[in-house]
A and B are shown apart, each in its own frame.
Chain A
Amino acid sequence: MTQQAQPVAGEAATPEGGRPGRQGSEARPPRRRTSNARRRRVGTTLLLATPAAYFVILFVVPLAVLVVYSFFTYQNFNFIPKFTWANYVQALTDPALRVFYFRTLRIALGVSVAVVVVSYFFSHILMYVLPGAKRILFFLVLVSLFGGYLVRIYAWRTILGRDGALNDLLIHTHVVSHPASFLLNSNFAIAVAMLNYLIPLGVLPIFSAMQNISPHLLEAAEDLGASRLRTVRTIVLPLTTRGLRAAFAFCFIATMAEWVTPQLLGGPLDQFVGNQVLYEFGETLNWPLGAAIALTLIASVVALLGILFGLLRLVTR
């Protein structure tokens, strides 16, 4: 609603700057108008150019450099600026890396779907079942968002470890007789930790999408005798698809490029593609190959998301 009111105010704020202003500004005395306007336009450009330059130099250029490095030749622990496709060939054909890819993909898909489902139900309850507690519950989710990334991953080591809190609890409640060791250093631990820090990020877009649904629509559906399920299926779900898609995409990208969680909570074999990138950068010092792996990873993630969303659109149409 503020969106609609805003352009009027904004238009009034820039009576000059090459655009025909509103009536009032035309009526003003034309003193120093043109030179002032030009000076202001130069000023605006300069003001915007400062953060833009920073952004370009420290975000766009580094990624461009990464692309350039991915074509460098690796020789005797050194990389020389000689063009080669070899890194990409290896990144795409290495059988060990393919294993990493499929494991990463499997866990990423599972975690992303789980995050979206959990977040959807959570948002739905906040909006329509417990609207009285909406604000405080959403605030709590936001608080947990700032609970620290590394700290939270690390915490699961103390919770899921052999002498950890969960085993402690399970033994005390006589669920198990001796500590379960499969909890830590497993795909299970990785998935739990990622779910844990991604759920707030899933709730965020889905909840805000739901908040934008006009309550009148739901009232109308109710008045016309639609069941709760039907209302959700025909109104709430279609109108939250953007939020759902954003949540899924965000989680999918984050999990596909993750390396800290498998490093700290996975077994030696439960590594992700990201860990291979780390390995090339940190151990073999084959940066060109690491760069090629990282870039093929992001390219395949974007391609997969495109295919997935394309298919979804075909199915739901």
Chain B
Amino acid sequence: MLRRWSGRKVGAGVYVALVLIFLFAPLVVVVLISFNATSNMNLQVSGFSFRWYRQIAGDPLVVAAFGRTALAAVATALVSGVLGLTGALGAVRLTPRWRTAVFTIPLVPLAFPALLFAVGLATFYHAIGIGFSIWATIAGHVILALPFVFLVLGAALERFRFSLLDAARDLGAGSFTIFRTITLPLLRPAILGAMLLSMAISVDEFVIAFFTAGSQQTLPLVLYGRINLGVNPGLNAIGSVLLVLTMALAFMAARVSVLEVP
């Protein structure tokens, strides 16, 4: 296409490029510096090395935090996946109007400030005498993940062919058979996508963990703690790990749930 670009298009292209550069600049900088051979913190990258990755891999605190982050991600995905699935199974039996209502309520935490929910959760745990731990954090992560789970599942239900359930019932299939042979296989990509998205949210989450994890720090908490102690290139390695993990999970989520369209 050698169509002449009008001034308007060039201007628009420049604008879009500037916005995207601005959006990606911090991500690129963190990843770039994490491979720097020296402890220089600017873009005078002097050679490629895994030095900082080796450093954090040998740091028991970081390794333990990584383990907790992974645990939180998996647990959040499992719990929110089960809750999302039960909700969706209930919702498929509702009339469309009710279904919309049911799928709107869990979206509330989406616009709710994390700080407020976090201090609420902390006081709640205090009131019922539950100590802060990674499990306390996971319980909160599930609430943050639920809106996304319901968004993904809600979109899948919009395309769901409800006539199949009717047909199966007419042919004498029981509730469990219908679930096993129709509902679950049809919703599986969406559930998988929703669970991957939940993992991404949990890995990246900071505020809830800050208020409820106590001494059982996750990776973002370790990063935060060390930022306050002073900037060092090892932090960029931790940041890059977090970044790549979150992006990879979100990307897989997108792939999985897009693939569901037959």
Contact = CB atoms under 8 A, between A and B. Distances in A.
Interface of A: 2, 6-7, 9-15, 17, 19, 25, 28, 40, 43-48, 50-52, 54-55, 58-59, 61-63, 65-66, 68-69, 118, 121-122, 125-126, 129-130, 133, 137, 140-152, 154-159, 161, 163-165, 167-169, 195-196, 199-200, 249-250, 253-254, 256-260, 264, 274, 277-278, 281, 287, 290-291, 294-295, 297-298
Interface string B85-115: 0110111111110010010011011011111
Interface stretch (B38-46, B49-57, B61-69): B38-46
A62 B117 contact: yes
Given A50-B87, A140-B23, A158-B33, 12 more contacts: A2-B159, A17-B93, A40-B175, A62-B124, A146-B247, A151-B223, A157-B227, A167-B42, A196-B25, A249-B111, A254-B113, A264-B224
B180 interface: no
Interface stretch (B70-78, B160-168, B184-192): B160-168
Nearest to B149: A51
B204 A149 contact: yes
B27 A144 contact: yes
19 contacts: A2-B158, A11-B96, A14-B93, A17-B95, A50-B83, A58-B139, A59-B117, A62-B117, A125-B15, A130-B13, A146-B246, A150-B220, A158-B29, A158-B42, A158-B231, A159-B25, A163-B42, A196-B23, A200-B23
A9 B163 contact: yes
B119 interface: yes
For the side of the interface on B, what is the size category?
35 or more
Contacts of B121: 58, 62
B27 A154 contact: no
Contacts of A58: 121, 124, 139-140, 142-143
- Which 10 pairs from chain A and chain B are nearest by CB? A47-B90, A155-B26, A257-B113, A13-B162, A62-B124, A48-B90, A62-B120, A146-B250, A10-B96, A66-B120
A195 B12 CA distance: 20
B207 A199 contact: no
B227 A154 contact: yes
A256 to B, nearest CB: 8
Contacts of A195: 22
Contacts of A264: 224, 227
A315 to B, nearest CB: 24
B246 to A, nearest CB: 5
A258 B121 CA distance: 17
B242 interface: yes
A150 B219 CA distance: 11
B20 A159 contact: no
A44 B93 contact: yes
Interface in B187-234: 200, 204-207, 211, 220, 223-224, 227, 231
B172 to A, nearest CB: 10
Main secondary structure of the interface of A (DSSP, over half): helix
A164 B143 contact: no
B23 A62 contact: no
Contacts of B13: 130
Contacts of B140: 58
B43 A165 contact: yes
A143 B248 CA distance: 10
Nearest to B24: A144
